[in-house]
Structure 1
């Protein structure tokens, strides 16, 4: 049953609800997390030997009721709450269902002489329940949380590509026998480093504007930001593997993804920040047209 619920949570709820309160949703889910944590404790104590069937049955029912309530409140999240907000809650509920399923499996009859301890899956479920208190109370907060993860990836890309440019080799993963880049390959690597530098700067500027924007813009800017980050990871990883002429195409493609992100940002951001975005566009053009 729990496995079926996990698979059933893959789809987004095709409903809209202008009265939906994401902050209230966060509060309810946090309280249900506390309740599920208590359920898990009592369930484990009721099921461990010497156990009484009636005690285990009662606790299975109590834990099931909490699971149903978690799923029910999750399914009330409408589309207009935000895709990132919705996806964050879906992942968390799926993690809870998998952890609960794992805990229940611990008490199933087995032929093994040494049965796995129930304490590890119980502790795992406890920890997951605690994280419900950290769920975002709005789509803006959800995007901010996910954006920080994107920034971490970009910072890794920046460190790696500058290692190549500054040292002539990629020793980011301890490849001491790597052949140093030189000539056109090194020139392309330097342009990649410039592109990633602009991207990190751009991401920081966009992040400062999240709290002021609507749900649709936040979802769009995150989707494109995720695309840019994925492309940055690919771009930097291919510096050693691809020929310089192939990297030229990759540089232009990556710059276009960053430009698309700037255009989305400019749809909602004006004033001094808008001028900064235009400056970033100009810098991108200079990088991709550099000889």
Structure 2
């Protein structure tokens, strides 16, 4: 789903949940970039406070490695042999860049709304065809509130019982998610804490860069993470025409290699930036 992939915050642990002796989990998802596509396997491995997403976004050369203790997400590009660390310091940097640039984008957005179709096409071409003037025009509008709506429907995904919920922005359903209690996935308390930590971190990043991201068609809804609990086992992005999805295939009980949960050696470190 690339940049349109939605990350859904998770938390709240059942008081009756009994942890396993060792923190080590692997969840295998099927990721489809659009409805009806064949899809690719998306493994998510968790061990000792680390979480690894292999082949992130369907790109076999791209991994995401999160450290709960460091509160840091590393974007690992095996094709280019680079590591891009994202932490609180980087988030603040991006936030400052966004705040400095937003007034200019808002002014451009207001003017873009007044352009004739031929003028609009000319300006979009001058911008490289990658920035929609409609998204710039939307900048002047206040963001619509996003809410989690419980549908009251339970179902099974890969043999796991889950509860369906809708992510609604204004009057539009942006996504559908089915959430399962962590004990149904045999997750330990430590592994579940790592998952929660990652999505708290991701939510913080999304909130600080939300305004800028929307100019480039990236839909990041404002969510109150306390409204839902559990682990998403099925997610459908309804915000665009492609309607991609992420669905649990199976829970793998085999051990996770320590070597997989480390940053590769010999890779170049790159800084996160909005500008190239």
Q: TM-score, normalised by structure 2?
A: 0.26
Max Rg structure: 1
Q: Tell which has more relative contact order, 1 or 2 (C-alpha 8 A, sep 6+).
A: 2
- Give the structure with the larger helix fraction: 1
TM-score w.r.t. length of structure 1: 0.25
Higher strand share: 2
